[in-house]
């Protein structure tokens, strides 16, 4: 009898082990829409409200929302098992690079028709509401086929953040050119204040994109983004690299040590403490440092990069929404994305500080957001997009080569020439693998 | 005779099945995936043969991560081994008050998670207010950028790993040392043996089997713990200077969308750690001392 029980238990264990390995097949129910979103600084509550509104508008439709801070870990594992969400809100530029991987694998659905759709519950087309230019960038149209695969969502101007009160207290004005910037750096150094710091080297992406546009114009910027041959061997590119090199002399000395791992907040704190003046960042920094102690009288200031010649630029970072090619419910997914541009959805998003690239939306902003989003009204030009999609090239990353190397430039471990040669080598390899 | 065999088979079947599903199958999968060019998420994958392995040979960042892993393996093993043996021997053989308290204190780092250890050492290494630089300033030495200097960042991580591991190995060695009969030491006392003679001629030979086993643990745990500490403390930076095997594998498999290449790095780690363990096992082989 004992043997029989033992055998039965063994059999149950074997069967349950096998059962747990069952492939998780995705639901094919046309009335269920699976939405996966990154729970960013805006929180997940706004997405719950959006899903409720969409369900109200589409009677019988059920939206299954997954909102996670580590979204890649959650949906990544499901996707490997063949269970794909229908709509994903996850921007490029994240460490796990899930969005970039799907772009490289051409695993996204063409969304071009979404922008010609009438917004559910309204009689306006999506494209009529969008601010022009947002769907003409490499961040939305990663291939050369002129089709849009990623819908632009919340945008944020990037530039230099500073303590406006610190500048006023010292009688300094915000530099409008790099010459004025260096002068301010020398002045500040006399008072023991450093001109510059940065959270991590990765924050130089928006900084360098804007600097490239300042140095050679938008066409030059696009050439760089498309890995045009010899583009890094031009005076315009060299000028950008030299500015970064010169910034090293004005950068707070503990910056590199704190720019690795999870210590980057200490660098942001330098600005709040009045130990460094400028840092490259995005509008999210205000929320991120909300509870941090700060210098008495501290007031956020924001400016586009100082001009190299005449034009000043501010890079516009925006998050993206997309549909995986393997999604089961693409029709409803497209409807959902179109709905995200509705007045109702925009109102919900804006109430949580998430600003969409919709015409006139900045009129409804107030406080710090009003200041940040008015940068383009104050004369700065916008630059958008990012590097063109390529096949994944083993061991080659333009982000590591171009941005991470800045830590070595700051410490003097790498010369500008070495840096430039490394960028050229990476750019050459990636050009051969352009999509 | 047949019945007991069937019974044994059914009894080991669940464990065998789990072993096959969760150990053997994933390991084979890693080897298979290393031969493909694949992003990891989509259904499209292309067979590239040994191209991923060829690319590794000319990848300077991989070579850098290999070098860092070897530095950590050598430093952490050497220093932890010596420190753990010394602590274990002192606490076992010497007449020290509050032995139990010391044992607990030394063991505490081992029960902390790698993230907590990373946070503790990030605070110690803080360039402006950290313990390490405050200590140096007392001696009139200018501040050191423990995590910001390419030349010393890997040693800063090694110190954290040694601090974390010493207590664990100390307890392992203490358990072996406690099993050595006191009569051997009494006899050596009569012979007039010094402390060092007793350690090298009695203690070390009698804990040799245990020590050999821990050498394999050192290899496996150094590779694993270094990944966790590097992720939390430096993210592989500055500019890849503290990249180790597993952090570079993660970077390539996910951030650089080269899952197949990442798996090729996984294969190298597997072969490297297996081979190294085999070599260490071979060169430390001694006839066991029997009492």
* Of B18, B147, B261, Cβ closest to residue A17: B18
- The whole-number pLDDT of residue A15 equals 59
Phi/psi for A324 (5° steps) reads: -65, 145
- The whole-number pLDDT of residue A145 equals 86
- The whole-number pLDDT of residue A22 equals 47
pLDDT band of residue B171 (cuts 50, 70, 90) is: very high
Tell whether omega for the bond before B238 is within 30 degrees of 0, i.e. cis.
yes
Q: Which domains does chain A have, with CATH numbers?
A: 32-156+317-377 (3.40.190.10), 157-315+388-431 (3.40.190.10)
Closest CA to B261 of A28, A396, A305, A383: A396
Q: Is the pLDDT reported for residue A26 higher than 60?
A: no
**A368 C-beta neighbours (distance < 10 Å), count:** 16
Question: Span A343-355, mean pLDDT?
Answer: 89
How large is the ipTM? 0.83
Chain B: nearest CA to A351, how far in angstroms? 33
- The whole-number pLDDT of residue A28 equals 62
- The whole-number pLDDT of residue A16 equals 58
Chain A: nearest CA to B240, how far in angstroms? 8
Residues A28-44 have pLDDT tens digits of: 677 889 999 999 878 88
Q: Is the pLDDT reported for residue B135 higher than 50?
A: yes
Closest CA to A154 of A330, A373, A400: A373
- Do B76 and B218 meet the contact criterion of CB atoms below 8 Å apart? yes
Q: Is the pLDDT reported for residue A407 higher than 60?
A: yes
Q: Is the pLDDT reported for residue A23 higher than 60?
A: no
Residues 104-133 of B with CB under 8 A from A: 118-119, 122, 125-128
- The whole-number pLDDT of residue B255 equals 87
Q: Is the pLDDT reported for residue B1 higher than 60?
A: no
Give A36 or B290, the one with higher predicted confidence: A36
How far apart, in whole angstroms, are the C-alpha atoms of residue A46 and residue B253? Answer: 33
- The whole-number pLDDT of residue A24 equals 46
Among B41, B45, B52, B247, which would you mutate to test the A interface (most chain A Cβ atoms within 10 Å of its Cβ)?
B41
- The whole-number pLDDT of residue A19 equals 53
**A425 C-beta neighbours (distance < 10 Å), count:** 13
Q: Using a cut of 0.80, tell me whether the model's pTM lies above it.
A: yes
Residues A206-228 have pLDDT tens digits of: 999 999 999 999 999 999 999 99
Q: Is the pLDDT reported for residue A351 higher than 90?
A: no
Among B22, B30, B117, B235, which would you mutate to test the A interface (most chain A Cβ atoms within 10 Å of its Cβ)?
B235
Residues B73-87 have pLDDT tens digits of: 999 999 999 999 999
Q: Which residues of A touch B18 (CB under 8 A)?
A: 17
Lowest-pLDDT choice from A106-110, A215-219, A257-261, B273-277: A257-261
Contacts for B108-114 with beta carbons within 8 Å, 24 or more apart? B108/B167, B109/B163, B109/B164, B109/B165, B109/B166, B109/B167, B110/B164, B110/B165, B110/B167, B110/B168, B112/B164, B114/B164, B114/B225, B114/B228, B114/B229, B114/B232
Residue percentage of chain B with pLDDT more than 90 = 70
CATH topology for the B51-112+153-283 domain: MetI-like fold (1.10.3720)
Q: Is the pLDDT reported for residue A78 higher than 90?
A: no
Residues A149-205 have pLDDT tens digits of: 999 999 889 999 999 999 999 999 999 999 999 999 999 999 999 999 999 999 999
Question: Span A125-148, mean pLDDT?
Answer: 87
Q: Is the pLDDT reported for residue B291 higher than 70?
A: no
Residues A317-333 have pLDDT tens digits of: 889 999 999 999 999 99
Contacts for A245-251 with beta carbons within 8 Å, 24 or more apart? A245/A409, A245/A416, A246/A182, A247/A195, A247/A196, A247/A410, A248/A409, A248/A410, A248/A412, A249/A185, A250/A182, A250/A185, A250/A189, A250/A194, A250/A195, A250/A196, A251/A194, A251/A195, A251/A196, A251/A197, A251/A198, A251/A276, A251/A410
In chain B, what are the domain boundaries? 51-112+153-283
- Do A302 and A375 meet the contact criterion of CB atoms below 8 Å apart? yes
């Amino acid at each position: 009898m004992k043997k029989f029980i033992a055998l039965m238990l063994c059999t149950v264990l074997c069967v349950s082990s096998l059962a747990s390995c069952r492939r998780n097949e995705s639901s094919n129910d046309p009335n269920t829409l699976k939405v996966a979103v990154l729970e960013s600084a805006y929180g997940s509550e706004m997405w719950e409200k959006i899903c409720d509104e969409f369900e109200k508008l589409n009677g019988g439709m059920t939206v299954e929302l997954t909102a996670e801070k580590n979204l890649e870990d959650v949906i990544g594992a499901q996707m490997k098992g063949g269970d794909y969400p229908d709509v994903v809100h996850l921007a490029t530029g994240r460490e796990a690079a899930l969005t970039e991987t799907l772009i490289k694998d051409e695993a996204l659905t063409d969304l071009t028709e979404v922008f010609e759709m009438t917004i559910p519950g309204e009689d306006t087309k999506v494209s009529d509401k969008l601010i022009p230019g947002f769907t003409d960038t490499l961040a939305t149209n990663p291939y050369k086929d002129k089709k849009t695969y990623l819908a632009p969502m919340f945008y944020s101007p990037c530039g230099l953040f500073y303590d406006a009160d610190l500048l006023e207290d010292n009688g300094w004005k915000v530099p409008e050119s790099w010459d004025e910037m260096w002068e301010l750096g020398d002045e500040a150094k006399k008072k023991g204040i450093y001109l510059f710091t940065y959270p991590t080297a990765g924050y130089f992406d928006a900084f360098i994109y804007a600097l490239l546009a300042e140095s050679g114009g938008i066409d030059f910027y696009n050439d760089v983004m498309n890995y045009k041959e010899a583009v890094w061997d031009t005076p315009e590119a060299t000028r950008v690299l030299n500015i970064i090199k010169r910034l090293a002399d004005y950068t707070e000395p503990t910056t590199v040590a704190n720019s690795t791992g999870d210590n980057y907040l200490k660098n942001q704190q330098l600005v709040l403490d009045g130990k460094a003046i400028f840092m490259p960042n995005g509008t999210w920094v205000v929320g991120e440092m909300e509870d941090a102690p700060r210098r008495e009288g501290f007031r956020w200031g924001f400016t586009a990069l100082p001009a190299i010649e005449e034009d000043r630029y501010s890079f516009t970072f925006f998050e993206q929404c997309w549909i995986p090619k393997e999604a089961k419910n693409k029709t409803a997914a497209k409807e959902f994305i179109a709905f995200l541009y509705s007045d109702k959805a925009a109102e919900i998003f804006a109430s949580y500080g998430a600003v969409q690239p919709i015409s006139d939306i900045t009129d409804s902003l107030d406080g710090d957001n009003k200041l940040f989003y008015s940068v383009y009204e104050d004369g700065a030009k916008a630059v958008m997009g990012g590097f063109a999609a390529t096949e994944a090239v083993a061991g080659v990353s333009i982000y590591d080569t171009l941005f991470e190397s800045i830590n070595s430039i700051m410490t003097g471990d790498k010369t500008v020439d070495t840096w430039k040669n490394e960028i050229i080598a990476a750019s050459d390899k990636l050009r051969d693998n352009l999509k | 005779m047949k019945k007991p065999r069937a019974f044994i088979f059914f009894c080991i079947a669940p464990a065998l099945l789990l072993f096959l599903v969760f150990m053997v199958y994933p390991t084979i999968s890693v080897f298979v995936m290393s031969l493909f060019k694949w992003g990891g998420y989509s259904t499209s994958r292309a067979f590239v043969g040994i191209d991923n392995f060829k690319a590794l040979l000319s990848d300077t960042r991989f070579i850098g991560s290999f070098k860092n892993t070897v530095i950590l393996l050598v430093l952490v093993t050497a220093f932890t081994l010596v420190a753990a043996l010394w602590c274990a021997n002192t606490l076992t053989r010497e007449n020290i008050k509050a032995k139990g308290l010391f044992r607990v204190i030394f063991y505490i780092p081992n029960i902390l998670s790698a993230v907590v250890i990373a946070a503790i050492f990030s605070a110690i290494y803080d360039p402006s207010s950290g313990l390490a630089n405050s200590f140096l300033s007392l001696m009139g030495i200018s501040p050191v950028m423990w995590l910001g200097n390419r030349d010393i960042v890997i040693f800063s991580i090694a110190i954290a790993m040694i601090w974390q591991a010493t207590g664990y190995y100390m307890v392992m060695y203490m358990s072996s040392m406690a099993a050595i009969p006191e009569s051997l030491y009494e006899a050596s006392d009569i012979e007039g043996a010094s402390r060092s003679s007793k350690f090298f001629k009695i203690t070390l030979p009698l804990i040799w089997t245990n020590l050999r086993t821990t050498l394999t643990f050192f290899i496996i745990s150094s590779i694993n713990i270094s990944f966790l500490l590097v992720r939390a403390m430096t993210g592989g930076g500055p500019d890849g200077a503290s990249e180790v095997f597993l952090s570079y594998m993660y970077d390539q498999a996910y951030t650089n969308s080269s899952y197949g290449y990442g798996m090729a790095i996984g294969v190298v780690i597997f072969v490297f750690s297996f081979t190294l363990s085999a070599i260490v096992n071979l060169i430390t082989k001694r006839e066991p001392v029997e009492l």
